[in-house]
Amino acid sequence: MNFFRRRRGNSVDSDELDIAGPKKGSQRTKSRKPPNTAFRQQRLKAWQPIYSPKTILPLLFVVFLIMCPIGIALIFRTYRVQNLVINYSKCDELEDSNDYTEIPKNRVNFHFDKSTSSYSNYQNPRWRTSTSTDSLGNSVRTCHIEFDIPNDIHSPLYFYFKLTNFFQNHRRYVESYDLEQLKGEAVPYDDIDSDCKPFAHSGDKIVYPCGLVANSYFNDTLASPVLLNPAGGSENVTYELTTKDIAWKTDRKTYKMTTYNWDEIVPPPNWEKRYPEGYTEDNIFNITEDEFFQNWMRTAALPSFMKLAAKNTTSPMESGTYQIDIGLNYPVSIFGGTKSLVITSNNILGGRHFGLGVCYLIVAGASFLFGFLFLLKVLIKPRKIGDHSLLNFEDERASQELFTSERRDYL
Protein backbone atom coordinates (compact mmCIF):
# COMPACT_ATOMS: atom_id res chain seq x y z
CA MET A 1 0.00 0.00 0.00
CA ASN A 2 2.69 2.43 -1.01
CA PHE A 3 0.27 5.10 -2.14
CA PHE A 4 -0.84 5.59 1.49
CA ARG A 5 2.74 6.19 2.55
CA ARG A 6 3.50 9.79 3.42
CA ARG A 7 5.84 11.40 0.98
CA ARG A 8 8.98 12.80 2.52
CA GLY A 9 8.78 16.49 2.08
CA ASN A 10 11.34 19.23 2.24
CA SER A 11 11.56 21.04 5.53
CA VAL A 12 12.28 24.35 3.83
CA ASP A 13 9.30 26.70 3.42
CA SER A 14 7.93 26.99 -0.11
CA ASP A 15 8.48 30.74 -0.10
CA GLU A 16 12.15 30.16 0.59
CA LEU A 17 12.30 27.67 -2.26
CA ASP A 18 11.03 30.31 -4.66
CA ILE A 19 13.81 32.66 -3.57
CA ALA A 20 16.81 30.46 -2.88
CA GLY A 21 16.03 27.79 -5.46
CA PRO A 22 15.90 24.02 -4.99
CA LYS A 23 18.45 22.13 -2.87
CA LYS A 24 20.87 19.77 -4.40
CA GLY A 25 19.52 16.30 -4.91
CA SER A 26 15.91 17.44 -4.86
CA GLN A 27 13.90 16.06 -7.74
CA ARG A 28 10.77 18.23 -7.24
CA THR A 29 10.11 21.68 -5.83
CA LYS A 30 6.86 23.42 -4.95
CA SER A 31 5.98 26.81 -6.37
CA ARG A 32 3.33 29.30 -5.27
CA LYS A 33 3.15 30.81 -8.72
CA PRO A 34 -0.33 30.36 -10.31
CA PRO A 35 -0.56 28.52 -13.63
CA ASN A 36 0.13 30.62 -16.69
CA THR A 37 -3.46 30.66 -17.99
CA ALA A 38 -5.60 33.56 -19.18
CA PHE A 39 -8.06 33.06 -16.34
CA ARG A 40 -5.50 32.70 -13.52
CA GLN A 41 -3.33 35.51 -14.84
CA GLN A 42 -6.29 37.82 -15.52
CA ARG A 43 -5.80 38.07 -19.26
CA LEU A 44 -9.42 37.33 -20.24
CA LYS A 45 -10.89 39.55 -22.89
CA ALA A 46 -13.23 42.21 -21.51
CA TRP A 47 -15.33 44.97 -22.95
CA GLN A 48 -14.30 48.31 -21.52
CA PRO A 49 -16.56 51.04 -22.90
CA ILE A 50 -15.03 54.42 -23.52
CA TYR A 51 -17.48 57.16 -22.67
CA SER A 52 -17.67 59.96 -25.21
CA PRO A 53 -20.32 62.42 -26.40
CA LYS A 54 -21.07 60.13 -29.34
CA THR A 55 -22.21 57.37 -26.99
CA ILE A 56 -23.63 59.25 -23.99
CA LEU A 57 -25.79 61.83 -25.80
CA PRO A 58 -27.78 59.28 -27.87
CA LEU A 59 -28.22 57.12 -24.76
CA LEU A 60 -29.70 60.00 -22.75
CA PHE A 61 -32.10 61.00 -25.51
CA VAL A 62 -33.16 57.37 -26.06
CA VAL A 63 -34.00 57.07 -22.35
CA PHE A 64 -36.02 60.28 -22.64
CA LEU A 65 -37.93 59.03 -25.69
CA ILE A 66 -38.80 55.75 -23.92
CA MET A 67 -39.65 57.07 -20.44
CA CYS A 68 -41.63 60.15 -21.43
CA PRO A 69 -44.45 58.42 -23.38
CA ILE A 70 -44.74 55.72 -20.72
CA GLY A 71 -45.02 58.32 -17.95
CA ILE A 72 -47.64 60.33 -19.86
CA ALA A 73 -49.68 57.18 -20.57
CA LEU A 74 -49.58 56.13 -16.90
CA ILE A 75 -50.71 59.54 -15.67
CA PHE A 76 -53.45 59.71 -18.30
CA ARG A 77 -54.79 56.29 -17.31
CA THR A 78 -54.63 57.15 -13.61
CA TYR A 79 -56.37 60.49 -14.17
CA ARG A 80 -59.39 58.67 -15.61
CA VAL A 81 -59.96 56.83 -12.32
CA GLN A 82 -63.03 58.32 -10.60
CA ASN A 83 -63.34 58.44 -6.83
CA LEU A 84 -65.12 60.03 -3.90
CA VAL A 85 -63.51 60.42 -0.46
CA ILE A 86 -65.67 61.48 2.51
CA ASN A 87 -64.07 62.12 5.90
CA TYR A 88 -66.85 61.25 8.37
CA SER A 89 -64.73 61.45 11.56
CA LYS A 90 -66.87 64.26 13.00
CA CYS A 91 -70.21 62.70 12.09
CA ASP A 92 -70.68 61.29 15.60
CA GLU A 93 -70.48 64.83 17.00
CA LEU A 94 -73.69 65.84 15.18
CA GLU A 95 -77.00 65.90 17.00
CA ASP A 96 -79.62 63.44 15.81
CA SER A 97 -81.79 64.97 13.12
CA ASN A 98 -83.92 64.07 10.12
CA ASP A 99 -82.50 66.95 8.11
CA TYR A 100 -79.30 66.65 6.14
CA THR A 101 -76.56 69.28 6.40
CA GLU A 102 -73.75 69.83 3.92
CA ILE A 103 -70.43 68.24 4.80
CA PRO A 104 -67.61 70.84 5.01
CA LYS A 105 -65.67 71.04 1.76
CA ASN A 106 -62.36 70.32 3.48
CA ARG A 107 -63.71 66.88 4.40
CA VAL A 108 -64.67 65.89 0.86
CA ASN A 109 -62.48 65.08 -2.10
CA PHE A 110 -63.79 63.81 -5.44
CA HIS A 111 -62.89 63.34 -9.07
CA PHE A 112 -65.53 62.57 -11.69
CA ASP A 113 -65.84 62.89 -15.45
CA LYS A 114 -65.91 66.63 -16.12
CA SER A 115 -67.37 66.22 -19.61
CA THR A 116 -70.86 65.48 -18.27
CA SER A 117 -73.36 68.33 -18.01
CA SER A 118 -74.30 67.49 -14.41
CA TYR A 119 -70.73 67.90 -13.18
CA SER A 120 -71.00 71.71 -13.18
CA ASN A 121 -73.98 71.48 -10.82
CA TYR A 122 -72.40 68.96 -8.49
CA GLN A 123 -73.39 69.35 -4.84
CA ASN A 124 -71.26 68.39 -1.88
CA PRO A 125 -72.35 65.30 0.09
CA ARG A 126 -74.70 65.78 3.04
CA TRP A 127 -74.92 63.95 6.36
CA ARG A 128 -77.03 63.41 9.45
CA THR A 129 -77.02 61.01 12.41
CA SER A 130 -79.55 58.83 14.18
CA THR A 131 -79.53 56.58 17.24
CA SER A 132 -81.15 53.16 17.45
CA THR A 133 -80.95 49.91 19.41
CA ASP A 134 -79.63 46.70 17.89
CA SER A 135 -80.78 43.13 18.54
CA LEU A 136 -78.37 42.83 21.48
CA GLY A 137 -79.77 45.90 23.18
CA ASN A 138 -76.78 48.11 22.39
CA SER A 139 -77.24 51.75 21.48
CA VAL A 140 -75.98 52.27 17.94
CA ARG A 141 -75.30 55.57 16.22
CA THR A 142 -75.52 55.67 12.46
CA CYS A 143 -74.11 58.25 10.07
CA HIS A 144 -76.39 58.69 7.06
CA ILE A 145 -74.59 60.19 4.06
CA GLU A 146 -76.17 61.41 0.82
CA PHE A 147 -73.90 61.90 -2.16
CA ASP A 148 -74.34 62.51 -5.87
CA ILE A 149 -72.80 60.57 -8.75
CA PRO A 150 -72.86 62.91 -11.80
CA ASN A 151 -72.15 60.18 -14.37
CA ASP A 152 -72.32 56.42 -14.68
CA ILE A 153 -69.24 54.71 -13.29
CA HIS A 154 -68.42 51.35 -14.80
CA SER A 155 -67.61 48.39 -12.63
CA PRO A 156 -65.62 47.25 -10.81
CA LEU A 157 -66.14 49.65 -7.91
CA TYR A 158 -64.40 49.35 -4.56
CA PHE A 159 -65.42 50.67 -1.15
CA TYR A 160 -62.60 51.28 1.33
CA PHE A 161 -62.25 52.51 4.88
CA LYS A 162 -59.30 54.89 5.22
CA LEU A 163 -57.52 55.63 8.49
CA THR A 164 -54.85 58.23 9.21
CA ASN A 165 -52.34 58.53 12.06
CA PHE A 166 -52.81 54.85 12.94
CA PHE A 167 -49.41 53.17 13.23
CA GLN A 168 -49.98 49.55 12.31
CA ASN A 169 -46.26 49.39 11.53
CA HIS A 170 -45.19 49.57 15.18
CA ARG A 171 -42.90 46.61 15.92
CA ARG A 172 -44.86 45.26 18.90
CA TYR A 173 -48.17 45.75 17.10
CA VAL A 174 -47.07 43.97 13.91
CA GLU A 175 -45.95 40.87 15.82
CA SER A 176 -48.92 40.72 18.20
CA TYR A 177 -50.87 37.70 16.92
CA ASP A 178 -50.70 33.92 17.00
CA LEU A 179 -50.48 32.41 13.53
CA GLU A 180 -51.43 28.92 14.66
CA GLN A 181 -54.62 30.32 16.19
CA LEU A 182 -55.51 31.99 12.91
CA LYS A 183 -54.94 28.69 11.08
CA GLY A 184 -57.67 27.13 13.21
CA GLU A 185 -55.54 25.18 15.65
CA ALA A 186 -56.60 24.97 19.30
CA VAL A 187 -53.36 26.32 20.78
CA PRO A 188 -53.09 25.32 24.47
CA TYR A 189 -53.24 27.92 27.23
CA ASP A 190 -49.51 27.84 28.00
CA ASP A 191 -48.42 27.76 24.34
CA ILE A 192 -50.06 31.01 23.19
CA ASP A 193 -47.50 33.23 21.49
CA SER A 194 -45.99 35.63 24.01
CA ASP A 195 -46.29 38.46 21.47
CA CYS A 196 -50.05 38.41 22.08
CA LYS A 197 -49.61 39.87 25.57
CA PRO A 198 -51.42 41.61 27.21
CA PHE A 199 -54.34 40.19 25.18
CA ALA A 200 -53.39 36.51 25.34
CA HIS A 201 -55.43 35.36 28.35
CA SER A 202 -58.41 36.53 30.34
CA GLY A 203 -58.43 34.73 33.66
CA ASP A 204 -58.32 31.01 33.00
CA LYS A 205 -59.50 31.36 29.38
CA ILE A 206 -57.76 32.06 26.09
CA VAL A 207 -58.43 35.22 24.12
CA TYR A 208 -59.45 34.32 20.57
CA PRO A 209 -58.19 35.83 18.36
CA CYS A 210 -55.39 37.08 20.58
CA GLY A 211 -53.10 40.08 20.21
CA LEU A 212 -53.13 43.81 19.62
CA VAL A 213 -54.03 43.59 15.93
CA ALA A 214 -57.25 41.67 16.53
CA ASN A 215 -58.18 43.75 19.59
CA SER A 216 -57.98 46.98 17.54
CA TYR A 217 -60.11 45.58 14.70
CA PHE A 218 -61.92 48.35 12.81
CA ASN A 219 -65.61 47.71 13.47
CA ASP A 220 -67.52 50.51 11.71
CA THR A 221 -70.20 48.87 9.56
CA LEU A 222 -71.06 49.69 5.95
CA ALA A 223 -74.43 49.15 4.29
CA SER A 224 -75.02 48.93 0.55
CA PRO A 225 -75.77 52.37 -0.97
CA VAL A 226 -79.32 53.05 -2.14
CA LEU A 227 -80.13 55.02 -5.30
CA LEU A 228 -82.87 57.52 -4.39
CA ASN A 229 -85.56 58.42 -6.94
CA PRO A 230 -83.95 56.73 -9.95
CA ALA A 231 -84.84 57.72 -13.50
CA GLY A 232 -88.23 56.49 -14.62
CA GLY A 233 -89.90 57.13 -11.28
CA SER A 234 -89.33 53.60 -9.99
CA GLU A 235 -88.68 52.72 -6.37
CA ASN A 236 -85.32 53.13 -4.69
CA VAL A 237 -82.69 50.72 -5.99
CA THR A 238 -79.99 49.17 -3.81
CA TYR A 239 -76.52 49.02 -5.30
CA GLU A 240 -75.52 45.62 -3.97
CA LEU A 241 -72.10 45.24 -2.40
CA THR A 242 -70.31 42.01 -1.56
CA THR A 243 -67.62 41.17 0.96
CA LYS A 244 -66.68 37.93 -0.80
CA ASP A 245 -63.19 37.69 -2.33
CA ILE A 246 -62.06 41.04 -0.94
CA ALA A 247 -59.11 39.44 0.86
CA TRP A 248 -55.97 38.04 -0.73
CA LYS A 249 -56.33 34.49 -2.01
CA THR A 250 -53.41 33.34 0.13
CA ASP A 251 -55.09 34.81 3.24
CA ARG A 252 -58.37 33.07 2.47
CA LYS A 253 -56.50 29.77 2.37
CA THR A 254 -54.61 30.49 5.60
CA TYR A 255 -57.47 31.48 7.92
CA LYS A 256 -59.52 28.53 9.21
CA MET A 257 -62.43 28.10 11.59
CA THR A 258 -61.17 27.51 15.10
CA THR A 259 -61.28 24.10 16.75
CA TYR A 260 -61.55 25.57 20.26
CA ASN A 261 -64.56 24.69 22.37
CA TRP A 262 -66.68 27.76 23.07
CA ASP A 263 -66.11 27.51 26.83
CA GLU A 264 -62.31 27.64 26.41
CA ILE A 265 -62.14 31.07 24.80
CA VAL A 266 -63.30 34.67 25.18
CA PRO A 267 -63.39 37.51 22.62
CA PRO A 268 -60.85 40.35 22.77
CA PRO A 269 -61.74 43.14 25.24
CA ASN A 270 -62.65 45.66 22.52
CA TRP A 271 -65.16 43.20 21.06
CA GLU A 272 -67.41 43.42 24.11
CA LYS A 273 -70.07 45.37 22.20
CA ARG A 274 -70.22 42.64 19.55
CA TYR A 275 -70.20 39.80 22.10
CA PRO A 276 -71.66 41.26 25.33
CA GLU A 277 -72.17 37.78 26.81
CA GLY A 278 -68.96 36.34 25.39
CA TYR A 279 -68.83 33.35 23.09
CA THR A 280 -71.53 30.72 23.08
CA GLU A 281 -71.87 27.49 21.17
CA ASP A 282 -73.67 29.31 18.35
CA ASN A 283 -71.77 32.58 17.98
CA ILE A 284 -68.05 31.74 17.89
CA PHE A 285 -66.28 34.18 15.60
CA ASN A 286 -66.01 32.62 12.12
CA ILE A 287 -62.69 33.88 10.85
CA THR A 288 -63.14 32.34 7.40
CA GLU A 289 -66.26 34.39 6.60
CA ASP A 290 -65.02 37.79 7.79
CA GLU A 291 -62.66 38.73 4.96
CA PHE A 292 -62.45 42.33 6.13
CA PHE A 293 -60.87 40.98 9.32
CA GLN A 294 -58.34 39.15 7.16
CA ASN A 295 -57.55 42.45 5.42
CA TRP A 296 -57.18 44.14 8.79
CA MET A 297 -54.71 41.52 9.99
CA ARG A 298 -52.47 42.31 7.01
CA THR A 299 -50.82 45.30 8.69
CA ALA A 300 -50.03 48.47 6.74
CA ALA A 301 -46.55 49.92 6.29
CA LEU A 302 -47.59 53.57 6.66
CA PRO A 303 -49.76 55.40 9.22
CA SER A 304 -52.27 56.39 6.51
CA PHE A 305 -53.81 53.39 4.79
CA MET A 306 -56.97 51.97 3.26
CA LYS A 307 -58.65 48.62 3.89
CA LEU A 308 -61.01 47.13 1.32
CA ALA A 309 -64.44 46.67 2.92
CA ALA A 310 -66.71 45.76 -0.03
CA LYS A 311 -66.92 45.80 -3.82
CA ASN A 312 -69.18 45.41 -6.82
CA THR A 313 -67.63 43.87 -9.92
CA THR A 314 -70.77 43.14 -11.94
CA SER A 315 -72.86 46.28 -12.42
CA PRO A 316 -72.12 49.97 -13.02
CA MET A 317 -73.03 52.67 -10.54
CA GLU A 318 -75.63 54.79 -12.31
CA SER A 319 -75.74 58.56 -11.97
CA GLY A 320 -78.04 59.94 -9.32
CA THR A 321 -78.30 60.59 -5.59
CA TYR A 322 -77.33 57.80 -3.20
CA GLN A 323 -77.68 57.25 0.52
CA ILE A 324 -75.27 55.09 2.46
CA ASP A 325 -75.38 54.22 6.17
CA ILE A 326 -72.26 53.77 8.31
CA GLY A 327 -72.46 52.35 11.82
CA LEU A 328 -70.28 54.46 14.13
CA ASN A 329 -68.40 52.09 16.44
CA TYR A 330 -64.72 52.94 16.05
CA PRO A 331 -63.29 55.99 17.89
CA VAL A 332 -60.42 57.82 16.19
CA SER A 333 -60.09 60.89 18.40
CA ILE A 334 -58.15 58.90 21.03
CA PHE A 335 -55.15 58.62 18.68
CA GLY A 336 -55.67 61.89 16.79
CA GLY A 337 -56.59 60.24 13.51
CA THR A 338 -59.38 60.37 10.96
CA LYS A 339 -61.57 57.83 9.21
CA SER A 340 -62.98 58.17 5.71
CA LEU A 341 -65.12 56.31 3.22
CA VAL A 342 -63.48 55.90 -0.18
CA ILE A 343 -65.49 54.94 -3.27
CA THR A 344 -63.30 54.41 -6.31
CA SER A 345 -63.00 52.75 -9.67
CA ASN A 346 -59.63 51.44 -10.86
CA ASN A 347 -57.51 50.68 -13.88
CA ILE A 348 -54.83 48.19 -14.77
CA LEU A 349 -52.41 49.93 -12.37
CA GLY A 350 -54.82 50.14 -9.43
CA GLY A 351 -56.41 53.22 -7.91
CA ARG A 352 -55.84 56.93 -8.30
CA HIS A 353 -52.11 57.05 -7.53
CA PHE A 354 -49.80 59.11 -9.73
CA GLY A 355 -46.50 58.01 -8.17
CA LEU A 356 -45.38 55.57 -10.86
CA GLY A 357 -46.16 57.92 -13.74
CA VAL A 358 -44.41 60.81 -11.98
CA CYS A 359 -41.29 58.66 -11.47
CA TYR A 360 -41.14 57.88 -15.19
CA LEU A 361 -41.47 61.57 -16.05
CA ILE A 362 -38.76 62.53 -13.56
CA VAL A 363 -36.32 60.07 -15.16
CA ALA A 364 -37.30 61.33 -18.63
CA GLY A 365 -36.87 64.97 -17.59
CA ALA A 366 -33.49 64.35 -15.95
CA SER A 367 -32.24 62.48 -19.05
CA PHE A 368 -33.36 65.27 -21.37
CA LEU A 369 -31.87 67.98 -19.14
CA PHE A 370 -28.43 66.37 -18.87
CA GLY A 371 -28.48 65.45 -22.54
CA PHE A 372 -29.27 69.05 -23.49
CA LEU A 373 -26.55 70.44 -21.19
CA PHE A 374 -23.93 68.01 -22.50
CA LEU A 375 -24.92 68.85 -26.07
CA LEU A 376 -24.43 72.56 -25.40
CA LYS A 377 -21.05 71.83 -23.85
CA VAL A 378 -19.95 69.88 -26.91
CA LEU A 379 -21.16 72.57 -29.32
CA ILE A 380 -19.88 75.62 -27.42
CA LYS A 381 -16.66 74.33 -25.95
CA PRO A 382 -15.83 70.96 -27.47
CA ARG A 383 -13.05 68.78 -26.15
CA LYS A 384 -10.69 67.00 -28.53
CA ILE A 385 -11.21 63.29 -28.38
CA GLY A 386 -8.17 61.02 -28.72
CA ASP A 387 -7.83 58.31 -31.36
CA HIS A 388 -9.13 55.14 -29.71
CA SER A 389 -7.21 52.94 -32.13
CA LEU A 390 -3.94 54.14 -30.56
CA LEU A 391 -4.92 52.77 -27.18
CA ASN A 392 -2.83 49.63 -26.65
CA PHE A 393 -2.74 47.93 -23.28
CA GLU A 394 -0.56 45.04 -24.47
CA ASP A 395 2.67 47.08 -24.30
CA GLU A 396 1.87 48.14 -20.75
CA ARG A 397 1.17 44.53 -19.76
CA ALA A 398 4.38 43.33 -21.39
CA SER A 399 6.48 45.96 -19.58
CA GLN A 400 4.85 44.98 -16.28
CA GLU A 401 5.70 41.31 -16.83
CA LEU A 402 9.28 42.27 -17.73
CA PHE A 403 9.62 44.27 -14.51
CA THR A 404 8.30 41.36 -12.48
CA SER A 405 10.71 38.94 -14.13
CA GLU A 406 13.72 41.24 -13.55
CA ARG A 407 12.75 41.69 -9.90
CA ARG A 408 12.55 37.92 -9.40
CA ASP A 409 16.00 37.43 -10.95
CA TYR A 410 17.38 40.15 -8.72
CA LEU A 411 16.04 38.52 -5.56
Structural domain boundaries in the chain = 49-81+353-383, 82-345
Q: What is the pLDDT of residues 319-377, one digit of tens each?
A: 999 999 999 999 999 999 999 999 999 888 888 888 899 999 999 999 999 999 999 99
Predicted local distance difference test score (pLDDT) of residue 394: 59
Report DSSP state, residue 292.
H
Q: What is the pLDDT of residues 108-159, one digit of tens each?
A: 999 998 887 778 788 899 999 999 887 777 788 999 999 999 999 999 999 9
- Alpha carbons within 13 angstroms on the beta-carbon side of residue 83 total 23
Predicted local distance difference test score (pLDDT) of residue 13: 45
The pLDDT confidence band at residue 24, using thresholds 50, 70 and 90, is: low
Of the candidates 125, 124, 123, 130, the residue with the CA atom closest to the CA atom of residue 94: 130
The pLDDT confidence band at residue 34, using thresholds 50, 70 and 90, is: confident
Q: Which residues contact 298 (CB under 8 A, 6 or more apart)?
A: 248, 251
Q: Which residues contact 241 (CB under 8 A, 6 or more apart)?
A: 159, 222, 224, 225, 310, 311, 312
Of the candidates 143, 103, 278, the residue with the CA atom closest to the CA atom of residue 203: 278
Q: What percent of the chain has pLDDT over 90?
A: 65
CA distances from 328 to 86, 208, 285, 349 (A): 14, 24, 21, 32
Number of helices (H) and strands (E) in the chain: give both, helices first: 9, 15
CA distances from 272 to 59, 143, 184, 267, 278 (A): 64, 21, 22, 7, 7
The pLDDT confidence band at residue 14, using thresholds 50, 70 and 90, is: very low
Q: What distance in Å separates the CA atoms of residue 8 and residue 22, rounded to the nearest whole number?
A: 15
The pLDDT confidence band at residue 3, using thresholds 50, 70 and 90, is: very low
Of the candidates 37, 36, 38, the residue with the CA atom closest to the CA atom of residue 405: 36
Q: What is the pLDDT of residues 62-107, one digit of tens each?
A: 999 999 999 999 999 999 999 999 999 999 999 999 999 999 999 9
Q: pTM for this structure?
A: 0.78
